[in-house]
Amino acid sequence: MPNLRIVTKNALRQASLTASSTAGNLAVSSLAAAVKSSLHRFTGTNGSYRATWAAPARIGCAALPFCNWSPTAKMCVRVSAELGMTNLATYSEDMGNTTSWARAAMTTVTINNTAAPNGANTADRVIPNATLGSHYLDKSISGLPDNTVYAGSVFFKRDTLWRAMLSLTAKDGSGTTLEVNFEDGRLSRMSNGSAQNCEFKLWDIGNGWYRLGIEKWNTLSGATVPRLRLFASQHNEISTNGWSNTAVVTTRAAGQTSPYANWPVDSIIEDTTATTSHYTATNINTEIDKAMLLEVTLKPLGAGATRYGVVLLAAGSGLAANRYAIVNLTTGAITAKVEGTECAFSTENMGNGYWRVKCLLTPKLKGIVNWQVRLSNSTTNAAPTYTGDGVSGMLACKPYVSLVVPDNTWAPFTGGSEASVVGDTTTGFFAWGAQLELGQRVTSYYPTTTTAQTRPVGYIDAWQSYDYDSGWVLACPAPAVELEGFTAAQAASAYAYGGGAYARHWLPQQMDATGLAVDIADPDNLQGYIEAACMVAGPVWSPRYNASGTSVSVIDRTEVSRSAAGDQLADPGTLSRKVPVDLRAMPEEDRARFLDLVRNSRAHPILMSVFPEHPDLALERDFMVYGRRTKDSDIAYQFAGAYSTTLEIEEI
């Protein structure tokens, strides 16, 4: 179980604190005062607090002692360490603005077409025209200094296209690209421009939305105005998308039934070039021991001479030697193969004459592998040279690469699809929230309109996760306190008489924060509104060894007297708790930290939990106290390197 924890300082005293609503004059400023008779109240059973700091503050806990919340109340704690940021991509949510976003082979941009990641109906639908080539929205961003590092990002969602791509063009004219595959929610292509060493990111935002990020992008130098582009992409189809042909012709095979929904079938037909190999190929990124599955589905063409299908991985920077499998397309049998230590080939019957050829590749080198789909007239020779007849070949469908262990910072395919898409005037994707910012990393999104906009330090909106996000968790799940003479609803806010609850959330790790958000939902609240008298957020100290002894006392200030008739009378007084703890065998570092704690005046209360996150929720509640030290704490030397002390906290 976790050891004793103490929030040693309430950083909210230096914060700017706001609330989403306020009932009457029960202002949010009351929360920073260390009194339980002055409180803040929301107008309903849902609310949010926001705190920001001009300079980062250390945060390990967010708590609200003395609140009227029910045991089923939940809160979501989000922490931001972000500084200010300026989004240079104007009209970030209006891709239909043709002055800001030029259209290249894009038929339609329908603004405000669907719900964006923030819930507002502000995302745009982007539809390519019916041509073969590049289809993109183009934003030029002038005035960027040479050789300066930025990060670019955008949000994409599938409409009917299966992929979409973000591209950043540097001043030397080279493009850095990143593509998402909506089918599996993974990165499918990444490609660095010349002299770039970018890092790539994908975030699953939910509801079908993904955020793509290109980090550490350098403007470089040259005559080109830097650009942010949004490309339409399709599947990695052999006939259209990033594959290069050698002595073959690849086309869409009209009238063929695909074994996969939404994936067309292509034909690979050898041309009549004499004494050469016949194949199509694309490049695959490799990382050492980053296992991936390469798959392509093949079928006999049904015309011309018998040809065998070959999947070959060519030697290069990512592979020490050629690896291949030769497949009889009628039976699916592998007639010859060379696997080495990196590859394992297999086939799977997909029905209707199709065979799925698979290669489990576990690279031993970082680099590029040339993935080739070949035609062969031999059951044993993977790369024969012969004269093609112009009619023999095979059908191919769904060339696909997937990582064995998903990784949202890496993509298998290199560049290519941005220049080879066939549009149809009806198939498109959704886009929203473009951002280009100074610095190495993508940070939280901030919208723009006609001009660049600057996000304030510590800004936290209602929907993004930022540096830490607890998700919705129970805030004060211990059973509600029952008080004699109070109804359950009255007891929920009888803070002076032992009622109310302590809401708390401990961060897994302490962090330096510029912003804090606490969102609260308590639909079962007995009073019909939520309130709190105190709020605490700050650094946490926990000793290496737990308390050796503790107790809890309820201090009852009721005055008992006798009447003239001899009856015992009671004048009810307020109640509070007192919790002493004994700390023995403190090592030197704990002694020094504890001394720092007691050097602070007893005028400043601290939050102490003797049994934090204990499964006995009532025990955790009873031994959590927000109060002041009642007396000085002597630190006694026990034996070599060990010290002891007693700390006693009385509730405010």
Average pLDDT estimate for 28-53: 94
Long-range pairs for 554-562: beta carbons < 8 A, 24 or more residues apart: 554/498, 555/650
- Structural domains of the chain sorted by starting position, each given as residue range(s) with its CATH number in brackets: 12-83+464-539 (2.60.120.260), 87-236+418-455 (2.60.120.260), 244-403 (2.60.120), 549-651 (2.40.30)
Q: What tokens appear for 110 in the block?
A: 């329908």
Q: Which of 131-135, 198-202, 220-224, 632-636 has the lowest mean pLDDT?
A: 632-636
Residue 463, pLDDT above cutoff 60: yes
pLDDT at 130 over 70: yes
Q: Which long-range contacts (CB under 8 A, 24 or more apart) does 485-489 make?
A: 485/572, 488/526, 489/526, 489/527
CA–CA distance, 598 with 319 (Å, rounded to integer): 63
pLDDT tens by residue, 502-528: 999 999 999 999 999 999 999 999 999
Residue 417 has pLDDT above 80, yes or no: no
Residue 5 CB neighbours (<10 A): 22
Query: Which H/E stretch holds residue 593?
Result: helix 588-599
Task: Tell me the per-residue pLDDT of 376-400, one tens digit each, with 9 for 90 and over.
Answer: 999 999 999 999 999 999 999 999 9
SS3 592: helix
Residue 482 per-residue DSSP state? P
Which of 284, 251, 283 lies closest to 270, judged by CA?
251
pLDDT at 362 over 90: yes
Q: Which of 27-31, 202-206, 412-416 has the highest mean pLDDT?
A: 202-206
Question: Cα separation of 189 and 180, whole Å?
Answer: 7
pTM of the model: 0.88
Give pLDDT tens digits for 564-600: 999 999 999 999 999 999 988 889 888 888 888 878 8
Mean pLDDT of the chain: 94
Q: Is the pLDDT of residue 622 over 70?
A: yes
User: To the nearest whole percent, how much of the chain has pLDDT over 90?
Assistant: 83
Residue 279 CB-half CA count within 13 A: 22
Q: What is the pLDDT of residues 444-454, one digit of tens each?
A: 999 999 999 99
Asked if the model's pLDDT at residue 45 lies above 70, the reply is yes
Mean pLDDT of 125-151: 94
Burial 320-331 (b: 16+ CB within 10 A, else e): eebbbbbbbbee
